[in-house]
Structure 1
Amino acid sequence: MSQVETQDGMGKLPRQIPFIIATEGCERFSFYGMRNILTPFLISTLLLFMPEPDRAGEAKHVFHTFVIGVYFFPLLGGWLADRFFGKYDTIFWLSLVYCAGHACLAIWDENLNGFYLGLFLIALGSGGIKPLISSFVGDQFDQTNKGKAKIVFDAFYWMINFGSFFASLLMPIFLKDFGPSIAFGIPGALMFIATMIFWSGRKKYINVPPAPPDPNSFTRVARTALLAAKPGESRPGLMMAGVGVVGALTSFAMIPSWGFVIAACTALVLLLAFGGIGTSMQLERARGIHPDEAVDGVRAVMRILIVFALTTPFHSLFDQKASTWIVQAQSMMPTVSAFGTTFNILPAQMQALNPLLVMILIPLNNLVLYPMLRVIGIEPTALRRMATGIAFSGLSWIVIGSIQVSMDAGEPMSITWQILPYALLTFGEVLVSATGLEFAYSQAPKSMKGVIMAFWFLAITVGSLWVLIVNAAVKNEAVISQIANSGMGVIAFQMYFFAAFAFAAALAFAWYATRYRMVDNYRISTALAAA
């Protein structure tokens, strides 16, 4: 390797990367294959025991509860990998749990409890490995080839969407023509293949060992900061954290009216938010008790978590394309005429637009859009991309809401009208999600990479929490009355509400981005360390 390559970080691509990318492609086919047919399957088959007007709402509730699980369990997977087993072993064994979940869906497609058990196991397996796969990719790079990490992260995200595209296109057909056992069984087979591909590369991977018990870990520094007392001064940070504890206990007390999932997720959000604010208020008190490096690391993590928190409105909009948008598509005209032929599009097949557009937009952005912006003097930094992406997601919901208003007025709408909002939302996704994977890894301190990636996915959990809260709110008679006075239907009102939510988040994100200082936390190669 030349000295120039070593210095600019453009060394050779790690030879083990193809194993990880192929694994991700098969795993994403399995996940999106079952996820994108989940809502229509629930409405048409598993929830037939419910009154017909209630099925769509219950299907959305089940779907977003499942999504919350998928993006909550990264906390567990990241903790297990960082503290006990390492990334490789954690990914492999949780992948087997993942396979068992798929088997449950295929076997118990007519059994409510058995099917929900399968969803739980998939949420545990998929969620548990989710932060580890992307951070495992980052572990294969060091300072000598870190310049190629962005290319690989984009390829990684491209492969996710390659698997998702074919799953979204084919699985609705298999569900319609061959039934749920086959439709849910095929994704299970792909997950098993993914596990075997990952296992076959085991001798080639760079395995960063779990961090040993650290007296200066994130949690210990935070605890010291909260509990430290100064003569003659109060502890406002501890009081702030106490507000979070009270709020969490109050949330659990609301289980009878909110349900366990909303109450538990709200409690977690309150603990993290108020605990984080309280720690920041008293963090300097940990200096002298812990090294400056450890204290500064905690400060860096707090700043990263603010970025993550500001992306939660985007996630609340994005994941509804597989619930709210499918429900809308079921009321649209499915017949399409093109190229001299006429055919029907199944509502769930519209999901294929998203990964198809991602596969187009990622290379288009890298080869055309970003170079053009640099020519005119605008550097498309990670935070600028993410702020713009959140705004585009809001724009997509303005369009989808306008479509709903026309449908509520009795105007027949072709399913092809959803193409424009899908394009806008997908452009936003590429700017937020693909960039977020790179941002989360590069900004995370060395000992916290798995957990930081888990917090990135926790932001997606909070996004689905907003959806559950809004859906629960519109069941209130007073809220329904206020919406009726606006002259809009409930669904259209929700769509415009989420659009406004995203625009407000984009403004807040852009403001915070001007105050965020980027850091470089890629691993130093052994060659450079010895030099």
Structure 2
Amino acid sequence: MTTSPHAATAAKMPPQIPYIIGNEGCERFSFYGMRNILTVFLMTSLLLAIPEDLRKAEAKEVFHTFVIGVYFFPLLGGWLADRFFGKYPTIFWLSLVYCAGHACLAIFEDSIKGFYFGLFLISLGSGGIKPLVTSFVGDQFDKGNRSLAQKVYDAFYWIINFGSFFASLLMPVVLKHFGASVAFGLPGVLMALATLILWSGRKKYVHQPPRGANPHSFMWVVWTALKSGGLGMTVAALGVLLAAYSLGQMGSLGFVAAVCLALVLVMGFGGIGASLQLDRARGVHPDEAVDGVRAVLRVLVLFALVTPFWSLFDQKASTWVLQADQMSKPAWFQSSMMQALNPLLVMLLIPFNNLVLYPALERMGLKVTALRRMGAGIALAGFAWIAAGVLQLWLDEGATVSIVWQVLPMRC
């Protein structure tokens, strides 16, 4: 059913939306504010006891282990919200955990154990709320104003990059001139403000109750299909064995690469195995549940690529920062400030894509779907890493390379 022009005109923006967007802007500043100076702090302060030739590898290992936590804990946050507490209570309480993590970073700047515990709390808090805030926004709309949801999501994504942009510019300067306690404490203040803004709108939100246990969830349908035996179970078991082998090679591959490869193997082989005999789940589960799982499995290969995509993307806050340290740049410019370019481009490209590029492509007969956008993004990410690799080869050969060259992979 389409929305009539009159209904679209009469639709009103939910009054609680500004609270959620304000919360997200402050939270993203706090996250990117600490994340974008983390590698520099590890290299120049916390890990000084480690020999210099080993320090870069250790700093990258710590950073990406933290990032893995950020992308793992959404599973926990989503499960807690859906099964027990609902979205708002889960977001609020995990936000308090998030604040405690920032406090640990500011207090334990000279203690490896205390600092790492703070990183754990931030990965738990940030990761736990990650899948909930976006869907919580969707809960605030009904049939009468659903036409406004896309505008809100565009504003939502824009404010994320707004917070990231200023955090990337300001926090390296704060770290240099005021020290780690202030540099990690300021994002903590912003996270506390984000939590306060969220709490202030608590009486205005639409609250969806938790759904409780679902015997026909995605995982139960997949397990029913696989446990019936046959070729599908063999394929899925092969994926588990290969994943176990990958984890066993952690010493040579490194923790981050081994874990990411293991996740891709389990998702890829498990998805193929389940799709081979998914119809065996019919009768045990409703047809609509089985058909829903089949629809997800059709795009599972693309989602399996999301893991390496984000693993590569987040190296812009570790490997690319260390690369930028080797490049020529103005004396006032800090290497981590280069990360501000990415959110700046996103803020510019969101209105350009929606107002110019996508309408032009659709006039040419090319429908711009979400999956096509994701596929194009993954392809461009590949080109970005080729460009970054070429820059590193130049540096390894002893060439003087301007930091301006990092604009090329950033633009991809």
TM-score greater than 0.5 by the shorter chain: yes
Give, in angstroms, the shift of residue 407 of structure 1. Answer: 2.6
The 1:271–1:163 alpha-carbon spacing in structure 2 relative to 1, beyond 3 Å, is same
1:128-147 to 2 correspondences below 5 Å: 128-147=128-147
Cα 1:143–1:93 shift into 2, 3 Å: same
Preserved CA contact (<8 Å) 2:222 2:278: yes
Question: What is the CA–CA distance in structure 2 between the aligned matches of 1:140 and 1:304, rounded to whole Å?
Answer: 28
Is the contact made by 1:357 and 1:423 (CA closer than 8 Å) also made in structure 2?
A: yes
1:420 counterpart residue number: 408
1:211 CA drift (Å): 1.2
- Which residue is equivalent to 2:22? 22
Whichever residue aligns with residue 164 of structure 1, its letter is S
Looking at structure 1, the residues matched to 214 and 365 of structure 2 have their Cα atoms a distance apart, in angstroms, of 44
* Of 277, 281, 295, the match for 2:272: 277
Identify unmatched segments of 5+ residues in structure 2: none
Asked whether 1:383 is paired with 2:371, we answer yes
Q: What corresponds to 1:500 in structure 2?
A: none
How far is 1:360 from its partner? 1.1
In the aligned structure 1, how far is the partner of 2:297 from the partner of 2:134?
A: 21
Range with bigger deviation, 295-304 or 305-314: 305-314
Indicate how the Cα distance of structure 1 residues 296 and 9 shifts in structure 2: closer, same or farther if over 3 A, else same.
Answer: farther
Aligned to 2:303: 308
Q: Report the equivalent of 2:197.
A: 197
Q: Is the counterpart of residue 410 in structure 1 residue 398 in structure 2?
A: yes
Give me the whole-angstrom Cα distance separating, in 2, the residues matched to 1:316 and 1:10: 44
The structure 2 residue matched to 1:244, chosen from 239, 257, 260, is 239
Note if contact 1:6-1:144 (Cα within 8 Å) is conserved in structure 2.
Answer: no
Output the amino acid matched with 2:279.
Answer: E
1:289-308 alignment to 2 at 5 Å?
289-308=284-303
Assess if the C-alpha contact under 8 Å between 2:3 and 2:147 holds in 1.
no
What CA distance in whole angstroms lies between the structure 2 residues aligned with 1:76 and 1:43? 31
Amino acid at match of 1:236: L
Q: Which residue of 2 aligns with 1:164?
A: 164
1:330 aligned to which of 325, 330, 333? 325
CA offsets, 1:4-30, max 9 Å, x none?
258779833222111111100000000
Q: Which residue does 1:116 correspond to in 2? A: 116
The answer as to whether partners of 2:138 and 2:149 remain within 8 angstroms in 1 is yes
The Cα of 1:305 is off from its aligned counterpart by: 2.9
Q: Give 1:323 shift.
A: 1.1
Q: Once the two structures are superposed, what CA deviation does each residue of 1:223-265 show, in whole Å capped at 9, x if it has no partner?
A: 222233xxxxx62222223323434444555566666666555
Contact 1:106–1:185 (CA<8 Å) still a contact in 2? yes
Mapped to 1, the partners of 2:79 and 2:60 lie a distance apart of 30
CA distance in 1: counterparts of 2:176 and 2:294, whole angstroms: 52
Aligned CA distance change for structure 1 residues 150 and 168 (closer, same or farther; 3 Å): same
Asked if residue 347 in structure 1 is aligned to residue 321 in structure 2, the reply is no
Do structure 1's residue 92 and structure 2's residue 92 form an aligned pair?
yes
Provide the C-alpha distance between the structure 2 equivalents of 1:249 and 1:385, rounded to a whole number of angstroms: 33
Distance 1:4 1:85 in 2: 37
CA–CA separation in structure 2 for the residues paired with 1:418 and 1:224: 49
Q: Specify the SS of the correspondent of 1:37.
A: helix
Unmatched tracts of structure 1, length 5 or more: 229-233, 336-342, 425-531
CA offsets 1:187-241 (integer angstroms, 9 cap, x no match): 001001001101111111122211133332223322222233xxxxx62222223
Partner residue, 2:175: 175
Tell me how far apart the structure 1 counterparts of residues 396 and 250 of structure 2 sit (CA, whole Å): 34
| Corresponding position of 1:526 | none
Report how far residue 357 of structure 1 moved: 1.4
Against the structure 1 CA distance between its residues 10 and 303, is the aligned structure 2 distance closer, same or farther, given a 3 Å change threshold? farther
In 2 relative to 1, CA 5–358 (structure 1 residues): closer, same or farther, beyond 3 Å? same
> Any conservation in 1 of the 2:71–2:127 contact (CA below 8 Å)?
yes
Deviation of 1:367 after TM superposition, in Å, equals 1.5
Residue 4 of structure 2 corresponds to: 4
Percent identity over the alignment is 64
> C-alpha separation between the residues in 2 aligned to 1:25 and 1:10?
28
Question: After TM superposition, where is structure 1 displaced by more than 6 Å over at least 4 residues in a row?
Answer: 6-10
Equivalence for 2:223: 223
Structure 1 window deviating more from structure 2 (183-192 vs 142-151): it is 142-151
Residue 382 of structure 1: CA displacement? 1.7
Q: Structure 1 residue 111: deviation in Å?
A: 0.6
Q: Distance in 2 between matches of 1:88 and 1:319?
A: 28
Secondary structure at the counterpart of residue 49 of structure 1: coil
Q: CA offset at residue 421 of structure 1? A: 2.4
Q: Which amino acid aligns with 1:419?
A: V
